[in-house]
Structure 1
């Protein structure tokens, strides 16, 4: 009996030691876990914004601000399409987040028909439209019956005719609806000028075949034509500012606001003035 009691007590002692060791090991493990630093929250992820643009000067201006946007956590992806007319459909279908190639009159001339609902997020620059020729050196040399190429889209066609009117070459009918004038709306054409309506992007190529053409500056720059060679052009007060457009409601997105802010900063104004001179005029 005494022997059994001794064995029982010995077993209890062994179990006590094992149990105490387990508790200590558990405490030690818990202490090690609690001593480890808490996991750090993931850094803010970079936001990618796709902006569709004309090649010159729009894409060049956007590429200029890319490094600054990168510092703000915005990866600006500049999308250039072969056909600029597809930049509005691309914005409508959410293939891009914004576009930068058009002025309000052009947008308004197509928006209703196409069902667009866009908003201007930033007013950036004016490209004064101008009259160019490879055959004459001044407007006074225009002969009777001379042929002039003008843009074939409604807003820029009206704009071209208004420029010719401002330079005394014709007079439009009174009460012509804004942005909708065509050569049929000319009331007085003393030189009996003839007009050829041409796709805006093809106007520079038409120069050898006409006596002159009224061309948007971005196409002049793309064709490596000196914008200073225009016989006459719009002044800096032109209402045709090129804007950053977004789908209505997106103008409140923080990344869009930041792009608009940097796009209209003093640094961009200086870049435009230094790089393009009279060809592109800041509108802010």
Structure 2
């Protein structure tokens, strides 16, 4: 009889320990505290690792950061449940990808993003740019539109007042002050184009991948929030505790301090500057 009592006591102890262990892996609303966040290799995986992960770990999460080398897999992995969130894309890309692939994706919060810049090894300032200079610009419509907006902000061109800022192209250039010669090329090749052209409009992610200093740009983009990267989750999870916790971490003073120290030149979203 004593043996049976001892056996039952041990069984109850094991069950209690197992239950406690289970509670450590589950949030207050029954959500898992072991999460995976995907990001493209480089500044945005660094941002997750250095600025987001510590805040989530302080809230009791176990965070794995998974790096990707392309812009297709992170959203597919999110939709398939292999990721809980990702960070690599702007609003226009997210909405277009979701529509084309039948996915339900939503942003949790916009984060500081590396801006496009006008770079040159020939000129040291916008004012020094000579008439007839060549400038390499992205050959995809979205990034090309961004390059024309920067050139207008730098007062190098004037765009048609009726044009849509998100879709402007060379045909919308009303006045080309310096008679610049536009050379559309693949965005990934734009950092190299600094060597072969007078000017190059380089998206921030490609500039950083090429070890360029954002602050060396002659002109940095006044980036609309549509072009800033955001933390994205499946729409069905947008009201989850994890989504709320990610938002709280990104809105914290600690997050902004890390951005100011580790991500110099990154443009802050409107909510951070209001």
Shorter-chain TM-score: what band?
Answer: 0.7 to 0.9
Residue 88 of structure 1 aligns to a residue whose secondary structure is helix
Aligned-pair RMSD on alpha carbons?
Answer: 2.8
* Equivalent residue in structure 1 for 2:130, among 125, 128, 143: 143
- Structure 2 gap ranges (5+): 26-31
* Equivalent residue in structure 1 for 2:228, among 241, 250, 255: 241
Give a deviation string over 1:127-146, Cα, whole Å, max 9, x none.
Answer: 33211111111222323332
Change (3 A) 1:184 1:245: same
Aligned equivalent of 2:29: none
Give a deviation string over 1:133-181, Cα, whole Å, max 9, x none.
Answer: 1111122232333221222333322121111112211122333234222
Query: Where do 1:1-284 residues align within 5 Å?
Result: 26=1, 38=13, 39-40=15-16, 41-43=19-21, 44=23, 45=25, 47-64=33-50, 65-235=52-222, 240-281=227-268, 284=272
Give a deviation string over 1:188-245, Cα, whole Å, max 9, x none.
Answer: 2233322222333332122111111122223222222222211111347765332101
Cα distance, 1:33 vs. partner? 5.9
Change (3 A) 1:130 1:31: closer
Aligned equivalent of 1:7: none
Distance (Å, rounded) in 1 between the aligned partners of 2:132 and 2:64: 48
Distance (Å, rounded) in 1 between the aligned partners of 2:102 and 2:94: 11
Q: Highest Rg: 1 or 2?
A: 1
TM-score, normalised via structure 2 length: 0.80
TM-score, normalised via structure 1 length: 0.78
**Which deviates more from structure 2 when the two are superposed, residues 161-170 or residues 73-82?**
73-82
Cα distance, 1:35 vs. partner? 6.1
Change (3 A) 1:71 1:116: same
- Structure 1 gap ranges (5+): 1-25
Change (3 A) 1:201 1:63: same
Cα distance, 1:85 vs. partner? 4.6
Change (3 A) 1:76 1:204: same
Q: How many residue pairs were aligned?
A: 258
Residue 131 of structure 2 aligns to a residue whose secondary structure is coil
Cα distance, 1:106 vs. partner? 3.5
Q: Is the 8 A contact 1:228 1:279 kept in 2?
A: no
Give a deviation string over 1:108-132, Cα, whole Å, max 9, x none.
Answer: 4554344443111112213332111
Give a deviation string over 1:33-58, Cα, whole Å, max 9, x none.
Answer: 67666531241326432322133321
